[in-house]
Protein backbone atom coordinates (compact mmCIF):
# COMPACT_ATOMS: atom_id res chain seq x y z
CA UNK A 1 0.00 0.00 0.00
CA UNK A 2 2.57 2.56 1.17
CA UNK A 3 5.08 1.58 -1.47
CA UNK A 4 2.49 1.92 -4.25
CA UNK A 5 1.56 5.36 -2.98
CA UNK A 6 5.14 6.57 -3.00
CA UNK A 7 5.69 5.12 -6.47
CA UNK A 8 2.69 6.85 -7.99
CA UNK A 9 3.72 10.19 -6.48
CA UNK A 10 7.16 9.72 -8.03
CA UNK A 11 5.66 8.93 -11.44
CA UNK A 12 3.46 12.02 -11.36
CA UNK A 13 6.51 14.04 -10.41
CA UNK A 14 8.48 12.67 -13.37
CA UNK A 15 5.66 13.37 -15.81
CA UNK A 16 5.45 16.97 -14.63
CA UNK A 17 9.22 17.43 -14.81
CA UNK A 18 9.35 16.06 -18.35
CA UNK A 19 6.09 16.86 -20.17
CA UNK A 20 7.34 15.62 -23.57
CA UNK A 21 7.44 12.06 -22.19
CA UNK A 22 3.65 12.14 -21.91
CA UNK A 23 1.86 10.46 -24.85
CA UNK A 24 -0.61 13.34 -24.99
CA UNK A 25 2.30 15.60 -25.88
CA UNK A 26 2.60 13.65 -29.14
CA UNK A 27 -0.72 15.04 -30.32
CA UNK A 28 0.80 17.51 -32.79
CA UNK A 29 3.05 14.86 -34.33
CA UNK A 30 0.29 12.30 -34.83
CA UNK A 31 -2.10 14.96 -36.16
CA UNK A 32 0.51 16.09 -38.71
CA UNK A 33 1.16 12.53 -39.84
CA UNK A 34 -2.55 11.72 -40.22
CA UNK A 35 -3.19 14.95 -42.13
CA UNK A 36 -0.32 14.25 -44.53
CA UNK A 37 -1.68 10.75 -45.13
CA UNK A 38 -5.28 11.98 -45.62
CA UNK A 39 -6.66 9.86 -42.79
CA UNK A 40 -9.99 11.27 -41.55
CA UNK A 41 -9.95 12.23 -37.86
CA UNK A 42 -12.34 13.61 -35.26
CA UNK A 43 -11.46 17.21 -34.45
CA UNK A 44 -10.66 17.37 -30.70
CA UNK A 45 -13.76 18.34 -28.70
CA UNK A 46 -16.07 18.12 -31.72
CA UNK A 47 -19.36 16.25 -31.25
CA UNK A 48 -17.87 13.27 -33.10
CA UNK A 49 -14.83 13.31 -30.80
CA UNK A 50 -17.04 13.40 -27.72
CA UNK A 51 -19.20 10.54 -29.04
CA UNK A 52 -16.22 8.38 -30.07
CA UNK A 53 -14.26 8.99 -26.86
CA UNK A 54 -17.27 8.24 -24.65
CA UNK A 55 -16.97 4.68 -23.28
CA UNK A 56 -19.89 2.35 -22.56
CA UNK A 57 -18.47 2.03 -19.03
CA UNK A 58 -18.55 5.58 -17.63
CA UNK A 59 -16.43 4.44 -14.69
CA UNK A 60 -13.44 4.23 -17.05
CA UNK A 61 -13.10 7.39 -19.17
CA UNK A 62 -9.81 8.02 -20.96
CA UNK A 63 -8.51 10.80 -23.19
CA UNK A 64 -7.08 9.64 -26.54
CA UNK A 65 -4.18 11.41 -28.19
CA UNK A 66 -6.10 11.28 -31.49
CA UNK A 67 -9.09 9.50 -33.00
CA UNK A 68 -8.94 8.35 -36.61
CA UNK A 69 -12.21 7.50 -38.34
CA UNK A 70 -11.18 5.56 -41.44
CA UNK A 71 -13.57 4.40 -44.13
CA UNK A 72 -11.06 2.32 -46.12
CA UNK A 73 -8.47 -0.36 -45.39
CA UNK A 74 -5.76 1.89 -46.87
CA UNK A 75 -6.62 4.56 -44.29
CA UNK A 76 -6.35 1.97 -41.49
CA UNK A 77 -2.89 1.05 -42.81
CA UNK A 78 -1.86 4.72 -42.91
CA UNK A 79 -3.14 5.19 -39.34
CA UNK A 80 -1.05 2.23 -38.08
CA UNK A 81 1.95 3.53 -39.94
CA UNK A 82 1.58 6.97 -38.27
CA UNK A 83 1.25 5.35 -34.83
CA UNK A 84 4.51 3.47 -35.37
CA UNK A 85 6.31 6.52 -36.72
CA UNK A 86 5.25 8.83 -33.87
CA UNK A 87 5.58 6.16 -31.20
CA UNK A 88 2.07 6.08 -29.73
CA UNK A 89 0.09 3.00 -28.72
CA UNK A 90 -2.81 2.32 -31.07
CA UNK A 91 -6.09 0.48 -30.43
CA UNK A 92 -8.93 -0.46 -32.73
CA UNK A 93 -12.39 0.38 -31.45
CA UNK A 94 -15.47 -1.14 -33.04
CA UNK A 95 -18.58 -1.01 -30.85
CA UNK A 96 -16.82 0.51 -27.83
CA UNK A 97 -18.43 -1.93 -25.39
CA UNK A 98 -15.27 -3.19 -23.66
CA UNK A 99 -15.98 -3.32 -19.91
CA UNK A 100 -12.47 -1.97 -19.32
CA UNK A 101 -12.61 0.65 -22.12
CA UNK A 102 -9.84 -1.23 -23.94
CA UNK A 103 -11.07 0.19 -27.27
CA UNK A 104 -9.75 3.50 -25.89
CA UNK A 105 -6.54 1.77 -24.79
CA UNK A 106 -7.56 1.40 -21.15
CA UNK A 107 -5.48 4.46 -20.17
CA UNK A 108 -4.92 8.03 -21.31
CA UNK A 109 -2.91 8.98 -24.38
CA UNK A 110 -3.66 6.16 -26.85
CA UNK A 111 -4.39 6.62 -30.53
CA UNK A 112 -7.87 5.23 -31.24
CA UNK A 113 -8.86 3.89 -34.63
CA UNK A 114 -12.65 4.12 -34.48
CA UNK A 115 -14.09 1.67 -37.01
CA UNK A 116 -17.84 2.16 -36.84
CA UNK A 117 -17.95 4.04 -40.16
CA UNK A 118 -16.94 0.71 -41.73
CA UNK A 119 -20.06 -1.37 -41.16
CA UNK A 120 -21.11 -3.02 -44.43
CA UNK A 121 -22.59 -6.53 -44.30
CA UNK A 122 -22.77 -8.71 -47.43
CA UNK A 123 -23.82 -12.31 -47.90
CA UNK A 124 -22.84 -14.79 -50.62
CA UNK A 125 -25.55 -17.43 -51.10
CA UNK A 126 -23.24 -19.71 -53.08
CA UNK A 127 -20.80 -20.19 -50.17
CA UNK A 128 -23.24 -19.22 -47.35
CA UNK A 129 -20.52 -16.94 -46.04
CA UNK A 130 -21.15 -13.44 -44.70
CA UNK A 131 -18.52 -10.71 -45.06
CA UNK A 132 -18.83 -8.14 -42.29
CA UNK A 133 -16.79 -4.98 -41.88
CA UNK A 134 -15.27 -4.71 -38.41
CA UNK A 135 -17.24 -1.69 -37.23
CA UNK A 136 -20.72 -3.18 -37.70
CA UNK A 137 -22.78 -3.67 -34.55
CA UNK A 138 -24.51 -6.97 -33.78
CA UNK A 139 -28.07 -5.72 -34.36
CA UNK A 140 -27.17 -4.48 -37.82
CA UNK A 141 -25.38 -7.75 -38.64
CA UNK A 142 -28.34 -9.90 -37.52
CA UNK A 143 -30.82 -7.75 -39.44
CA UNK A 144 -28.79 -7.71 -42.65
CA UNK A 145 -28.20 -11.48 -42.63
CA UNK A 146 -31.83 -12.26 -41.92
CA UNK A 147 -32.95 -9.96 -44.72
CA UNK A 148 -30.45 -11.68 -47.06
CA UNK A 149 -31.90 -15.17 -47.15
CA UNK A 150 -32.80 -15.74 -43.48
CA UNK A 151 -29.22 -16.52 -42.38
CA UNK A 152 -27.57 -16.11 -38.99
CA UNK A 153 -24.49 -16.94 -36.89
CA UNK A 154 -24.15 -17.15 -33.09
CA UNK A 155 -23.50 -13.97 -31.14
CA UNK A 156 -24.66 -12.03 -28.09
CA UNK A 157 -27.88 -10.14 -27.52
CA UNK A 158 -26.89 -6.48 -27.17
CA UNK A 159 -27.51 -4.78 -30.55
CA UNK A 160 -24.87 -2.08 -29.94
CA UNK A 161 -21.92 -4.44 -29.32
CA UNK A 162 -19.32 -4.34 -32.10
CA UNK A 163 -18.92 -7.49 -34.17
CA UNK A 164 -15.11 -7.31 -34.09
CA UNK A 165 -14.45 -6.88 -30.36
CA UNK A 166 -17.13 -9.48 -29.64
CA UNK A 167 -16.29 -12.24 -32.09
CA UNK A 168 -12.48 -11.91 -31.83
CA UNK A 169 -12.67 -12.70 -28.08
CA UNK A 170 -15.48 -15.28 -27.86
CA UNK A 171 -19.10 -14.21 -28.26
CA UNK A 172 -21.76 -16.16 -26.36
CA UNK A 173 -25.49 -15.87 -26.99
CA UNK A 174 -28.81 -17.62 -27.44
CA UNK A 175 -27.57 -19.93 -30.19
CA UNK A 176 -24.15 -20.81 -28.79
CA UNK A 177 -25.12 -24.12 -27.17
CA UNK A 178 -26.54 -25.20 -30.53
CA UNK A 179 -24.01 -23.66 -32.95
CA UNK A 180 -20.96 -22.49 -30.96
CA UNK A 181 -19.50 -19.08 -30.14
CA UNK A 182 -19.22 -16.16 -32.58
CA UNK A 183 -15.48 -16.91 -32.74
CA UNK A 184 -16.28 -20.41 -34.02
CA UNK A 185 -18.17 -18.99 -37.01
CA UNK A 186 -15.16 -16.96 -38.23
CA UNK A 187 -13.70 -18.51 -41.41
CA UNK A 188 -11.54 -15.59 -42.49
CA UNK A 189 -10.27 -12.19 -41.39
CA UNK A 190 -8.54 -9.30 -43.13
CA UNK A 191 -6.07 -7.68 -40.75
CA UNK A 192 -3.66 -4.74 -40.75
CA UNK A 193 -0.55 -5.79 -38.82
CA UNK A 194 1.91 -3.68 -36.79
CA UNK A 195 4.12 -3.18 -39.87
CA UNK A 196 1.05 -1.63 -41.61
CA UNK A 197 0.80 -4.48 -44.11
CA UNK A 198 -2.63 -5.93 -44.82
CA UNK A 199 -3.06 -9.69 -45.03
CA UNK A 200 -5.80 -12.27 -45.40
CA UNK A 201 -6.03 -14.96 -42.75
CA UNK A 202 -7.92 -18.23 -42.72
CA UNK A 203 -7.33 -21.94 -42.05
CA UNK A 204 -5.10 -21.91 -45.19
CA UNK A 205 -3.74 -18.33 -45.40
CA UNK A 206 -1.48 -17.25 -42.50
CA UNK A 207 -3.08 -19.93 -40.30
CA UNK A 208 -0.96 -19.11 -37.22
CA UNK A 209 -2.22 -15.51 -37.24
CA UNK A 210 -5.76 -16.75 -37.89
CA UNK A 211 -5.37 -18.97 -34.82
CA UNK A 212 -4.31 -16.01 -32.65
CA UNK A 213 -7.01 -13.64 -33.90
CA UNK A 214 -9.71 -16.11 -32.85
CA UNK A 215 -9.65 -15.40 -29.13
CA UNK A 216 -6.96 -12.72 -28.79
CA UNK A 217 -7.56 -10.50 -31.83
CA UNK A 218 -6.99 -7.20 -30.01
CA UNK A 219 -3.28 -8.05 -29.59
CA UNK A 220 -2.18 -8.61 -33.17
CA UNK A 221 -3.56 -5.94 -35.46
CA UNK A 222 -6.63 -4.13 -36.65
CA UNK A 223 -9.12 -6.51 -38.22
CA UNK A 224 -10.94 -4.62 -40.95
CA UNK A 225 -13.31 -7.33 -42.11
CA UNK A 226 -14.47 -10.78 -41.00
CA UNK A 227 -15.94 -13.73 -42.86
CA UNK A 228 -18.51 -15.85 -41.00
CA UNK A 229 -20.06 -19.15 -41.94
CA UNK A 230 -23.80 -18.90 -41.42
CA UNK A 231 -26.67 -21.23 -40.57
CA UNK A 232 -30.28 -21.08 -41.69
CA UNK A 233 -32.23 -19.17 -39.05
CA UNK A 234 -34.90 -21.54 -37.71
CA UNK A 235 -38.35 -20.42 -38.89
CA UNK A 236 -39.80 -20.73 -35.39
CA UNK A 237 -38.05 -20.27 -32.05
CA UNK A 238 -39.55 -20.10 -28.57
CA UNK A 239 -38.61 -17.62 -25.85
CA UNK A 240 -39.28 -18.91 -22.34
CA UNK A 241 -38.61 -18.29 -18.67
CA UNK A 242 -38.81 -20.28 -15.45
CA UNK A 243 -39.00 -18.35 -12.17
CA UNK A 244 -36.71 -19.81 -9.53
CA UNK A 245 -37.59 -19.43 -5.82
CA UNK A 246 -33.96 -18.75 -4.87
CA UNK A 247 -34.77 -16.79 -1.73
CA UNK A 248 -32.51 -18.74 0.64
CA UNK A 249 -29.21 -20.62 0.37
CA UNK A 250 -30.71 -24.10 0.40
CA UNK A 251 -33.11 -23.24 -2.42
CA UNK A 252 -30.14 -21.95 -4.45
CA UNK A 253 -28.12 -25.12 -3.80
CA UNK A 254 -31.02 -27.41 -4.73
CA UNK A 255 -32.00 -25.55 -7.90
CA UNK A 256 -28.42 -25.05 -9.05
CA UNK A 257 -27.63 -28.76 -8.58
CA UNK A 258 -30.63 -29.74 -10.68
CA UNK A 259 -29.66 -27.35 -13.47
CA UNK A 260 -26.02 -28.42 -13.57
CA UNK A 261 -26.87 -32.14 -13.62
CA UNK A 262 -29.25 -31.58 -16.51
CA UNK A 263 -26.82 -29.37 -18.45
CA UNK A 264 -23.84 -31.65 -17.93
CA UNK A 265 -25.62 -34.86 -18.91
CA UNK A 266 -26.71 -33.23 -22.15
CA UNK A 267 -29.28 -30.47 -22.21
CA UNK A 268 -31.02 -30.89 -25.61
CA UNK A 269 -28.89 -29.37 -28.33
CA UNK A 270 -31.59 -26.92 -29.52
CA UNK A 271 -31.93 -25.47 -26.00
CA UNK A 272 -30.13 -22.21 -25.16
CA UNK A 273 -30.31 -20.25 -21.96
CA UNK A 274 -28.98 -18.69 -18.80
CA UNK A 275 -29.87 -18.13 -15.18
CA UNK A 276 -30.39 -14.43 -14.51
CA UNK A 277 -30.49 -13.21 -10.91
CA UNK A 278 -30.75 -9.77 -9.35
CA UNK A 279 -32.01 -8.32 -6.10
CA UNK A 280 -35.66 -8.75 -7.10
CA UNK A 281 -35.81 -12.15 -8.81
CA UNK A 282 -34.01 -15.15 -10.26
CA UNK A 283 -35.11 -16.92 -13.39
CA UNK A 284 -33.99 -19.16 -16.21
CA UNK A 285 -34.27 -17.25 -19.48
CA UNK A 286 -34.07 -19.27 -22.64
CA UNK A 287 -34.47 -19.58 -26.35
CA UNK A 288 -35.44 -22.95 -27.75
CA UNK A 289 -34.65 -23.42 -31.44
CA UNK A 290 -38.01 -24.94 -32.30
CA UNK A 291 -41.70 -24.62 -31.64
CA UNK A 292 -43.53 -24.21 -28.35
CA UNK A 293 -44.68 -27.85 -28.47
CA UNK A 294 -41.12 -29.06 -29.02
CA UNK A 295 -39.91 -26.87 -26.14
CA UNK A 296 -42.43 -28.43 -23.76
CA UNK A 297 -41.13 -31.93 -24.45
CA UNK A 298 -37.49 -30.87 -24.28
CA UNK A 299 -37.76 -28.88 -21.03
CA UNK A 300 -39.92 -31.37 -19.08
CA UNK A 301 -37.01 -33.31 -17.51
CA UNK A 302 -35.64 -30.06 -16.03
CA UNK A 303 -39.07 -28.93 -14.84
CA UNK A 304 -39.49 -32.27 -13.09
CA UNK A 305 -36.07 -31.98 -11.37
CA UNK A 306 -36.85 -28.41 -10.31
CA UNK A 307 -40.47 -29.13 -9.41
CA UNK A 308 -41.28 -25.99 -11.44
CA UNK A 309 -43.43 -24.78 -14.33
CA UNK A 310 -42.67 -22.63 -17.36
CA UNK A 311 -43.46 -19.09 -16.23
CA UNK A 312 -43.73 -17.72 -19.73
CA UNK A 313 -43.37 -18.97 -23.31
CA UNK A 314 -43.87 -17.32 -26.67
CA UNK A 315 -43.09 -18.45 -30.21
CA UNK A 316 -41.38 -15.91 -32.50
CA UNK A 317 -39.63 -15.76 -35.82
CA UNK A 318 -35.83 -15.35 -35.61
CA UNK A 319 -35.67 -11.56 -35.48
CA UNK A 320 -38.70 -11.44 -33.19
CA UNK A 321 -36.74 -13.43 -30.62
CA UNK A 322 -33.59 -11.31 -31.11
CA UNK A 323 -35.70 -8.23 -30.56
CA UNK A 324 -37.32 -9.77 -27.44
CA UNK A 325 -33.94 -10.10 -25.74
CA UNK A 326 -32.89 -6.52 -26.55
CA UNK A 327 -35.58 -5.37 -24.09
CA UNK A 328 -36.78 -2.51 -26.25
CA UNK A 329 -33.46 -1.23 -27.62
CA UNK A 330 -33.25 -0.29 -31.29
CA UNK A 331 -32.05 -3.39 -33.19
CA UNK A 332 -30.44 -2.06 -36.38
CA UNK A 333 -28.19 0.53 -34.77
CA UNK A 334 -25.05 2.21 -36.11
CA UNK A 335 -24.07 5.68 -34.93
CA UNK A 336 -24.40 7.82 -32.98
CA UNK A 337 -24.68 5.27 -30.18
CA UNK A 338 -25.42 6.74 -26.76
CA UNK A 339 -26.15 3.93 -24.31
CA UNK A 340 -23.83 4.00 -21.27
CA UNK A 341 -23.63 2.54 -17.74
CA UNK A 342 -21.39 3.00 -14.68
CA UNK A 343 -20.25 -0.37 -13.32
CA UNK A 344 -17.72 -2.91 -12.21
CA UNK A 345 -17.93 -6.37 -13.73
CA UNK A 346 -16.17 -9.73 -13.44
CA UNK A 347 -16.44 -13.06 -15.18
CA UNK A 348 -15.77 -16.74 -14.65
CA UNK A 349 -15.82 -20.04 -16.49
CA UNK A 350 -16.23 -23.07 -14.18
CA UNK A 351 -17.06 -26.76 -14.11
CA UNK A 352 -20.13 -28.16 -12.38
CA UNK A 353 -19.68 -26.88 -8.84
CA UNK A 354 -18.68 -29.41 -6.16
CA UNK A 355 -21.08 -29.45 -3.16
CA UNK A 356 -18.84 -27.42 -0.82
CA UNK A 357 -18.19 -24.71 -3.43
CA UNK A 358 -21.85 -24.50 -4.33
CA UNK A 359 -22.74 -24.06 -0.66
CA UNK A 360 -20.24 -21.18 -0.29
CA UNK A 361 -21.47 -19.50 -3.47
CA UNK A 362 -25.09 -19.83 -2.34
CA UNK A 363 -24.30 -18.46 1.13
CA UNK A 364 -22.59 -15.46 -0.43
CA UNK A 365 -25.56 -14.86 -2.74
CA UNK A 366 -28.03 -15.16 0.12
CA UNK A 367 -26.10 -13.01 2.59
CA UNK A 368 -23.94 -10.50 0.69
CA UNK A 369 -25.74 -10.08 -2.63
CA UNK A 370 -29.24 -9.85 -1.25
CA UNK A 371 -28.22 -7.04 1.12
CA UNK A 372 -26.41 -5.02 -1.59
CA UNK A 373 -28.77 -2.25 -2.73
CA UNK A 374 -26.86 -1.35 -5.90
CA UNK A 375 -28.09 -2.53 -9.32
CA UNK A 376 -26.19 -5.82 -9.39
CA UNK A 377 -26.94 -8.94 -11.39
CA UNK A 378 -25.41 -12.33 -12.07
CA UNK A 379 -25.76 -14.23 -15.34
CA UNK A 380 -24.94 -17.94 -15.36
CA UNK A 381 -24.79 -18.99 -19.01
CA UNK A 382 -25.71 -22.60 -19.87
CA UNK A 383 -22.44 -22.95 -21.78
CA UNK A 384 -21.11 -26.51 -21.82
CA UNK A 385 -22.31 -30.05 -21.29
CA UNK A 386 -22.49 -33.17 -23.42
CA UNK A 387 -24.47 -31.52 -26.25
CA UNK A 388 -22.74 -28.14 -26.36
CA UNK A 389 -21.24 -27.10 -29.71
CA UNK A 390 -18.70 -24.93 -27.84
CA UNK A 391 -16.85 -27.78 -26.12
CA UNK A 392 -16.82 -29.89 -29.31
CA UNK A 393 -13.94 -27.67 -30.51
CA UNK A 394 -10.43 -28.50 -29.23
CA UNK A 395 -9.06 -26.15 -26.53
CA UNK A 396 -6.05 -25.35 -28.71
CA UNK A 397 -7.86 -25.12 -32.08
CA UNK A 398 -8.17 -21.35 -31.59
CA UNK A 399 -6.66 -18.94 -29.05
CA UNK A 400 -9.99 -18.94 -27.15
CA UNK A 401 -9.26 -21.61 -24.51
CA UNK A 402 -12.44 -22.66 -22.68
CA UNK A 403 -13.44 -25.89 -24.41
CA UNK A 404 -12.88 -28.64 -21.87
CA UNK A 405 -16.04 -30.78 -21.66
CA UNK A 406 -15.13 -31.76 -18.08
CA UNK A 407 -14.37 -28.30 -16.79
CA UNK A 408 -16.15 -25.64 -18.76
CA UNK A 409 -19.84 -25.98 -17.95
CA UNK A 410 -20.87 -22.43 -16.98
CA UNK A 411 -19.83 -18.96 -18.17
CA UNK A 412 -20.66 -16.19 -15.68
CA UNK A 413 -21.03 -12.47 -15.80
CA UNK A 414 -21.05 -10.60 -12.46
CA UNK A 415 -22.19 -7.00 -12.82
CA UNK A 416 -22.54 -4.28 -10.20
CA UNK A 417 -23.71 -0.84 -11.29
CA UNK A 418 -24.89 2.48 -9.97
CA UNK A 419 -27.72 4.31 -11.69
CA UNK A 420 -26.42 7.74 -10.73
CA UNK A 421 -23.20 9.17 -9.35
CA UNK A 422 -19.90 7.34 -9.33
CA UNK A 423 -19.16 3.73 -8.40
CA UNK A 424 -18.10 3.63 -4.72
CA UNK A 425 -14.39 3.13 -4.04
CA UNK A 426 -15.23 0.36 -1.55
CA UNK A 427 -17.63 -1.33 -3.98
CA UNK A 428 -15.17 -3.74 -5.63
CA UNK A 429 -14.98 -6.15 -2.71
CA UNK A 430 -18.57 -7.27 -3.32
CA UNK A 431 -17.91 -8.99 -6.67
CA UNK A 432 -14.30 -9.84 -5.80
CA UNK A 433 -15.60 -11.77 -2.79
CA UNK A 434 -18.31 -13.52 -4.76
CA UNK A 435 -15.84 -14.71 -7.39
CA UNK A 436 -13.47 -15.85 -4.64
CA UNK A 437 -16.24 -18.01 -3.19
CA UNK A 438 -16.03 -20.04 -6.43
CA UNK A 439 -12.31 -20.07 -7.13
CA UNK A 440 -11.20 -20.91 -3.57
CA UNK A 441 -12.57 -24.42 -4.03
CA UNK A 442 -11.37 -25.04 -7.61
CA UNK A 443 -7.95 -25.74 -9.15
CA UNK A 444 -6.61 -23.26 -11.70
CA UNK A 445 -7.02 -25.65 -14.62
CA UNK A 446 -10.73 -25.82 -13.78
CA UNK A 447 -11.58 -22.13 -14.10
CA UNK A 448 -10.77 -19.05 -16.15
CA UNK A 449 -12.08 -15.59 -16.98
CA UNK A 450 -13.55 -14.11 -20.16
CA UNK A 451 -11.89 -11.02 -21.67
CA UNK A 452 -15.18 -9.94 -23.26
CA UNK A 453 -16.16 -9.18 -19.65
CA UNK A 454 -12.74 -7.71 -18.90
CA UNK A 455 -11.86 -6.95 -15.28
CA UNK A 456 -9.28 -4.13 -15.27
CA UNK A 457 -8.45 -4.62 -11.57
CA UNK A 458 -6.44 -7.75 -12.43
CA UNK A 459 -2.72 -7.11 -12.96
CA UNK A 460 -1.29 -7.97 -16.36
CA UNK A 461 0.28 -11.26 -15.32
CA UNK A 462 -2.90 -12.58 -13.77
CA UNK A 463 -5.11 -11.24 -16.56
CA UNK A 464 -3.16 -12.96 -19.34
CA UNK A 465 -3.14 -16.21 -17.41
CA UNK A 466 -6.85 -16.31 -16.56
CA UNK A 467 -7.96 -15.17 -20.03
CA UNK A 468 -5.77 -17.56 -22.06
CA UNK A 469 -4.54 -20.32 -19.74
CA UNK A 470 -2.79 -23.06 -21.77
CA UNK A 471 -2.83 -21.01 -24.97
CA UNK A 472 -0.84 -18.13 -23.44
CA UNK A 473 2.72 -19.35 -24.27
CA UNK A 474 1.88 -19.68 -27.96
CA UNK A 475 0.22 -16.25 -27.95
CA UNK A 476 3.25 -14.65 -26.30
CA UNK A 477 5.56 -16.19 -28.91
CA UNK A 478 3.34 -14.87 -31.70
CA UNK A 479 3.31 -11.42 -30.05
CA UNK A 480 7.13 -11.41 -30.18
CA UNK A 481 7.00 -12.32 -33.85
CA UNK A 482 4.24 -9.92 -34.95
CA UNK A 483 4.36 -6.94 -32.58
CA UNK A 484 7.58 -6.98 -30.50
CA UNK A 485 7.39 -3.26 -29.65
CA UNK A 486 3.78 -3.59 -28.47
CA UNK A 487 2.23 -1.04 -30.80
CA UNK A 488 -1.14 -2.69 -30.04
CA UNK A 489 -0.89 -2.33 -26.27
CA UNK A 490 -3.44 -2.05 -23.47
CA UNK A 491 -2.88 -2.81 -19.77
CA UNK A 492 -3.93 -6.48 -20.06
CA UNK A 493 -2.50 -7.13 -23.53
CA UNK A 494 -0.51 -10.28 -24.27
CA UNK A 495 3.14 -9.62 -23.44
CA UNK A 496 5.90 -10.60 -25.87
CA UNK A 497 7.72 -13.73 -24.69
Ligand X SMILES: *[C@@H]1O[C@H](CO)[C@@H](O)[C@H](O)[C@H]1NC(C)=O
Binding site for ligand FAD (CB under 6 A): 56, 91-99, 102-103, 115, 134, 156-158, 161-162, 164-166, 168-173, 217-218, 222-223, 452, 490
Q: Looking at 248, 304, 330, 367, which residue binds ligand X (CB under 6 A)?
A: 248
Angle formed at CA 320 by CA 317 and CA 322, multiple of 5 degrees:
110
Strands 312-316 and 231-232: unpaired
- By a kind-dependent CB cut-off of 5 to 8 A, residue 198 interacts, out of ligand FAD, ligand X, none, with none
Cα end-to-end distance, the chain, whole Å: 29
How far lies 230's CA from each of 170, 180, 246, in Å?
16, 11, 38
Please identify which residue in 72, 462, 480, 485 interacts with ligand X, judged by CB under 6 A.
Answer: 462
Closer residue to ligand FAD (CB): 364 or 410:
410
Number of neighbours of residue 11 by Cβ within 10 angstroms? 10
Contacts (Cβ under 8 Å, ≥6 apart) of 420: none
Give start and end residues of each alpha helix (H) in 373-470.
428-439, 460-468
Sign of CA dihedral 180, 185, 186, 187: positive
Q: Per-residue x/- mask for ligand X, residues 191 to 230, rule CB under 6 A?
A: --------------------x-------------------
CA atoms of 228 and 153, how far apart (whole Å): 7
268 binds, among ligand FAD, ligand X, none (CB under 5 to 8 A by kind): none
Q: By C-beta, is 158 or 258 nearer to ligand FAD?
A: 158
245 in contact with ligand X (CB under 6 A): yes
Q: Evaluate whether 483 touches 496 at the Cβ level (below 8 Å).
A: yes
Is 384 in a helix, a strand, or coil? coil
Q: Which is nearer to ligand FAD, 113 or 263 (CB)?
A: 113
Give the one entry of ligand FAD, ligand X, none that residue 459 binds, where binding means its C-beta sits below a cut-off of 5 to 8 angstroms depending on kind.
Answer: ligand X
Q: Kindly report the backbone phi and psi dihedral angles of residue 409, in degrees, each rounded to the nearest multiple of 5, phi listed first.
A: -100, -40
**Which of 29, 73, 199, 251 contacts ligand X by CB under 6 A?**
251
Q: How many whole angstroms from its chain centre is CA 321?
A: 21
**Which residue number, 127 or 250, has a Cβ lying nearer to ligand X?**
250
Q: With respect to ligand FAD, which residue has the nearer C-beta, 170 or 385?
A: 170
Q: From the CB of 248, what's the least distance to ligand X, in Å?
A: 4
56: partner contacted, choices ligand FAD, ligand X, none (Cβ within 5-8 A by kind): ligand FAD
- Give the residue from 302, 238, 262, 296 showing the smallest Cα distance to 387: 262
If phi > 0 it is left, if psi is from -120 to 50 it is alpha, else beta; for residue 465 that is alpha
Q: Give which of ligand FAD, ligand X, none residue 123 binds (C-beta under 5 to 8 Å, depending on kind).
A: none
CA atoms within 13 A on the CB side of 46: 9
Query: Cβ 51 to ligand X, closest distance in Å?
Result: 35
Q: Using CB distances below 5 to 8 A depending on partner kind, what does residue 8 bind out of ligand FAD, ligand X, none?
A: none
Does residue 297 interact with ligand X by CB under 6 A?
A: no
Least CB distance from residue 20 to ligand FAD, whole Å?
A: 26
Nearest to ligand FAD of 359, 495 (CB atom): 495
Please, what is the minimum distance in Å from the beta carbon of residue 309 to ligand FAD?
26
8 touching ligand X, by CB under 6 A: no
- Residue 178's H or E segment, with its range, is helix 176-179
215 binds, among ligand X, ligand FAD, none (CB under 5 to 8 A by kind): none
Closest alpha carbon to 137 in 95, 182, 189: 95
Q: Does residue number 281 form part of the binding site for ligand X (CB under 6 A)?
A: no
Can residue 418 be called a binding residue for ligand X (CB under 6 A)? no
Alpha carbon 29 to chain centroid, angstroms: 33
Q: Which does 100 bind (CB under 5 to 8 A by kind): ligand X, ligand FAD, none?
A: none
Report the nearest approach of ligand X to the CB of residue 339 (Å): 32
Pick one of ligand X, ligand FAD, none as the site partner of residue 352 (Cβ within 5 to 8 A by kind): none
What 3-state class would DSSP assign to 205?
Answer: coil
Asked whether 221 and 190 are in contact (CB, 8 A), the reply is no
Number of residues binding to ligand X, judged by CB under 6 A: 12
Q: Which of 461, 470, 484, 485 touches ligand X (CB under 6 A)? A: 461
3-class DSSP assignment, residue 151: strand
C-alpha span between 410 and 263 (Å, rounded): 9
Site residues (vs ligand X, CB under 6 A): 211, 245, 247-248, 250-251, 394, 396-397, 459, 461-462
Amino acid sequence: MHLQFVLSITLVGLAVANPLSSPLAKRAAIDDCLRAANVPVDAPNSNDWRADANPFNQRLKYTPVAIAVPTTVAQVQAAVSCAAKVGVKVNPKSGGHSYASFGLGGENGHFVVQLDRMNAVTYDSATQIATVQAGARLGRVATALYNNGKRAFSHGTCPGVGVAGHSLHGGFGFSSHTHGLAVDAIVGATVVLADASVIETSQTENPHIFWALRGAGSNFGIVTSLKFKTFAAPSQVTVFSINLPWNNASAIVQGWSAIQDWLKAGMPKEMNGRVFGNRMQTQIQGLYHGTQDQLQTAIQPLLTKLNAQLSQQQQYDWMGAFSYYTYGQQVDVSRPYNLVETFYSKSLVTPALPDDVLQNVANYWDQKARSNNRGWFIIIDLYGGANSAITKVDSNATAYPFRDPNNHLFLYEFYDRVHSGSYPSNGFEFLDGWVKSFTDGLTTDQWGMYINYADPTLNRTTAQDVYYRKNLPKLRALKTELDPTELFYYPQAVQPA
